[in-house]
Amino acid sequence: MYDLKALYEAKTVEEAVALRLEHPEAQIIAGGTDVLVQMREGKRAGKELISIYGIDAMRGVSLDGEENIRIGSLTSFSHITKDPIIQKYINVLGEAVDTIGGPQIRNAGTIGGNTCNGVTSADSASTLFAWDAIIELTGKNGVRRLPIQEFYLGAGKVDVRPDEIQTAILIPKASYENCFGHYIKYAMRNAMDIATTGCSVNVVLSGDKKTIARARIGYGVAGPIPMRAPTAEAAALGKPLTAETVDAFAAAVLEDIHPRDSWRAGKAFRQHIAVEMARRCLIESIKLAGGVMA
Amino acid sequence: MSKQVGQSKIRVDAFDKATGRAKYTDDLCGREALVTHMVRSTVAHGLVTAVDTEEALKVPGVVKIFTCFDVPDIPFPTAGHPWSTDPAHQDIADRLLLNRHVRYYGDDVAVVVAEDEVAAARAARLVKVTYEEYPFVLDVQKAMEPGAPQIHEEFPGNILGHTEIRRGDYQKAIQEPGLIKVEGWYDTPTVQHCHIENHVCTAYMEAGRVVVTSSTQIPHIVRRVCGQALGIPWGKVRLIKPYIGGGFGNKQDALYEPLCAWLTTQLGGRLVKIDCSREETFVSNRVRHAIRTHIISWVRPDGTFAARKIEAFSNQGAYASHGHGVNAKGVNAFPQLYPCDNIEGDGWTVYTNLPAAGAMRGYGIPQAMWAGESHLDDVAKALGRDPVEYRRQVVMPVGYRDAFSKNENYFDTFNQIMDKGMEAIGYAEKRKAYENQTGPVRRGVGMALFWYNTAVWPISLESSSCRMVLNQDGSIQVQTGETEIGQGCDTAYAQMAADAVGIPFEDVHIVSTQDTDITPFGLGAYASRQTYIGGFSIRQTGQLLKERILTYAVELTRQTRANLDLIDGKIVRVSDGRVLMTLGELATEALYSLTHSEHLTAESTYQIKNNAYSFGCTFAEVEVDIPMCKVKLLNIVNVHDCGALINPALAEAQVHGGMSMAIGYGLSEELKFDPKTGKPLNNNLLDYKLSTFMDHPHLQAAFVENPEPTSPYGTKALGEPPACSPAPAIRNAVLQATGVAMYKAPMSPQALFARFCEEGLL
């Protein structure tokens, strides 16, 4: 039995926006895999809920007029993993969300919920950061778009205004073109776990596939919100496909990340793992891009 | 007729459980039930000075709030042991229904009774408890130090129990020149059973008696504890145990049944339910004792032991529950598995301000094997010997007899199981292939043996009672006091009963529910004793029923008793094998006869004054990713000698479950507490890393079937043994792969990181 005051169901984005304005205290619920857990723990006990789960227009993956990838916010993790557009252009995102929870959670949970939850451990987030995703929000005055790095304001805090709901996540064409990436979720077991640290790397190689034309790296649980490691990215830029390049890239992440000490894992351990993950992710990304390590 | 025992019959409860039709405690609870929400201690140690319920009582739907100031002042024991009529051997009575003197974070302070769960939870959040805080202690050895916080007045120094073993002259023996000293400290964590169904119980009153339905392994024992806790005659309590979703020893304790029984007496006999959440189950039921073990072996260059020493410190937590019995079992295994003339052993069980530790699958032996079998590999390594070959030299020999239990090692079991395990995993080739590896990812193979006892004789009573009732169609109902807790004993019993009476398996209807008003007295499910103990009374009662049937058949067939037999549900003339009538025809006649009507039934008790060793081993192969600090289990096999198999498919399933539990024990599971407050940190299934299906390789189970001479069906323990040896086997495989000896379970990535740094691998 859940301790909730009321449940309002929206069938369209417009209805959702209206409900938000009408019930400013209400919590938005999509797949419910986080919100219901929190309610059970008493954290949101007695609250009103606005369910957006029935808004089918917010489901599915497509290419827009400019060939940007558009992922509806209600698209479930399992649908993302199996989607042909995702598999063709940004397969690593499908792999990343396939590490979440178990099959039931992946069928119910949505990528919009995963990002709006604002937690650093979200398995989709490090990849979305590393691929410069754009968050689309819809409110009473229409659509607002912003880079995912600006969307995250702090631990558990995202930039959704009182009249808005997140409606889509976009991956620009310039981001995914010729780009290949790899994600490693480091967790204490192989299923039903949250990331101790998550690392997502992607590269674009030079035309001759001898050097790194662009490298991007995103982390989860390396700070209070997901983050990029710009020092590491700069260290790899234009460099040959060698072990030295990889080592320099990996070592440089320590300049950017700030993992914390907790009972779940110590700081020294998290730092050690973060470096090793960066190494392995870069090597794998180079391989996927058709590069051969010297 | 084909024997049913020995066949992989489909579980008698398979269909109902797989389709969701089987009824568990909560399924049987009426919708009119009042529900409860506990108010728990938020300090690790202290005295409740006041409980303010004013705001909480205003919540609509709240019926009543009971606090630690309301309950009867009757301390009661909770351990699921047979009661002893000798006061010196009775379990420790050290808790009340709700406690003013709270002794761990999560202790029972008050209980809200309400019309629904939301009201109960809201009110529980509004109850204000004031404490006088006391200093607390979480570490077992610190709790033994002078000046440590005193947890129970009656136990100075917090020492609940002490086992002392002295054999030969240890001090003199270690003076022998040329001895190699191998020493280690081995730690096991606090873990929880994580059965799928949390503990739940309900109670109401009828005809002046309290009727309790509970998810328990031990209905007759819980009835007794409820009587003791409420201070009422035991016959005033009726305890019903329906299907349960696992127990693994947590439910071999009286948990919330006494409180539930008392609540209904305070609520006019209304139906009331206590339903533990998963978070509560982790902390406020029972846990496995964390045990710290110190072992020193003095070894001659030829490998023989000159002297050995063991000290084991068992963390009891806040209340006695099963208490010292757990550590005593582990410490007493030490001189038996690897006999030695000069032994000094001390086992201590010590109160701390952690959740109460009780029974859990293996009862001290998984801890003892983690220490002892890890140590054995450390000794083999010091000697430069192969661990298997070395164990063959020093393990308990054939013909060994334990003076106390009178258990005997009748067969060459240890060599047989090791041979089988080696072959299953390709030990010899892999052990050689994995020598002298370098590089970041390395493989290893390792193994561990285990020692186990079936049942509890001669420490406690062992008896079993059985009732059989014949129906008109020739089928029978069978009842025993031993309980089905998911392990499959109902099916094994149906097979045994079919053979004992001489009827088809399908004609045996096991009454799965135990109801103390109806079911013959028995002690329940624990100590891996069900199949062994139940076998005696089922065989005896089956023969008794068969005799009554054939005696009646003499009247109907006019043949002599000696010339009649009951085979496959038919009355057969022995001399020519002719079927004279079916059992159904006989039973119908017996019930409805106008000249001699008789209800053919049988009931008997068998007291068992034997016990049996049950041995086995695990072989494991691992791949260790050193930079990632991860162990991947590639292959694992358990080999058991549990005597003749009653149902091979069920035996295999039992082994799989135990291996899964032990993989988590070795690699990932640990209940953690904040050292500053004693607050549990990870009492949920996300943060507590129970191993999942994805963390297991194919689980392989193999058997050596040396029939147990004392059992009517040649069987002995298999319930707990599978969980005893996998963790140290994995540890020893990691040792081969990396050269790094791990001393503390679980071998989590964080723990591996620390050790790899210490040893210079990182």
Nearest Cα neighbor of B38 from B10, B58, B68 is: B68
- B488 phi and psi, to 5 degrees? 100, 15
CA dist., res. A88 & res. A92, Å (int): 10
Interchain contact, A263 vs B116, CB within 8 Å: no
Instruction: Output the pLDDT for position A203.
Output: 98
Phi/psi for B551 (5° steps) reads -65, -40
* Cβ contact A263–B681 (<8 Å): yes
Nearest C-alpha neighbor of A55 from the set A69, A68, A73:
A73
pLDDT(A174) > 60? yes
pLDDT at B615: 98
Q: How far apart are the first and last CA of chain B?
A: 65
Given a cut of 50, the residues of chain B with pLDDT beneath it are 1
Contacts of B687 in chain A (CB under 8 A): 264
b or e along B700-727 (b: 16 or more beta carbons within 10 Å of the residue's beta carbon)? bbbbbbbebebbbbbbbbbbbbbbbbbb
Q: Does the beta-carbon distance from A45 to B121 stay under 8 Å? A: yes
Chain B residues with CB under 8 Å of a chain A CB are 116-118, 121-122, 125, 627-629, 668, 672, 674, 681-682, 685-687, 689, 691-695, 748-750, 753, 762
Q: Indicate whether this model's pTM tops 0.90.
A: yes
Beta bridge partner(s), residue B603: B467
Contact A185, B630 (CB under 8 A): no
Judging contacts by C-beta atoms under 8 Å, the chain B residues touching residue A265 are 749-750
Q: Which residue on chain B is closest to A184 by alpha carbon? A: B628
The answer to whether A233 and A215 have CB atoms below 8 angstroms apart is yes
For an interface test with A, the pick among B277, B694, B748, B755 (most A C-beta atoms closer than 10 Å) comes out as B694
pLDDT of residue B2: 60
How far does A46 lie from chain B, in Å, by closest CA? Answer: 9
Residue in A44, A188, A271 to test binding to B, most B beta-carbons within 10 Å: A188
CB contact under 8 A, A188 and B628: no
A47 interaction partners in chain B (CB closer than 8 Å) = none
Percentage with pLDDT > 70 across chain A: 100
Choose, out of B138, B670, B753, B755, the residue to mutate when testing the contact with A (most A CBs < 10 Å).
B753
- Beta carbon pairs, A and B, within 8 Å: 60
Provide DSSP, A130-177.
HTT-EEEEEETTEEEEEEHHHHEEETTEE---TT-EEEEEEE-HHHHT
CB spacing of B627 vs A276 below 8 angstroms = yes
Task: Encode pLDDT of A249-291 as tens digits.
Answer: 999 999 999 999 999 999 999 999 999 999 999 999 999 999 9
Res. A167: pLDDT tops 90: yes
User: B15-30 burial, b for 16+ CB within 10 Å, e for fewer?
Assistant: eeeeeeebebbbeebe
Residue A42: pLDDT over 90: no
DSSP B346: E
In this prediction, residue A1 has a pLDDT band, given cuts at 50, 70 and 90, of: confident
Measuring CA to CA, which residue among B473, B483, B460, B756 is closest to residue B628? B756
- Burial state string for A162-180 with b = 16 or more CB within 10 A and e = fewer than 16: ebbbbbbbbbbeebbeebb
| Average pLDDT across chain A, whole number | 97
Tens of pLDDT, residue by residue over A88-118, are 999 999 999 999 999 999 999 999 999 999 9
From A194, A272, A273, residue closest to B686, measured CB to CB: A194
Residue B630: closest C-alpha in chain A: A188
Which amino acid does the sequence have at A113? G
Position A44 scores a pLDDT of 86
* A43 touches B: beta carbon within 8 Å: no
Average pLDDT of the segment spanning A128-134: 98
Of B117, B686, B762, the CB nearest to A272: B762
> Which of A186, A276, A279, A283 should one mutate to test binding to chain B, selecting the residue with the greatest count of B CBs within 10 A?
A276
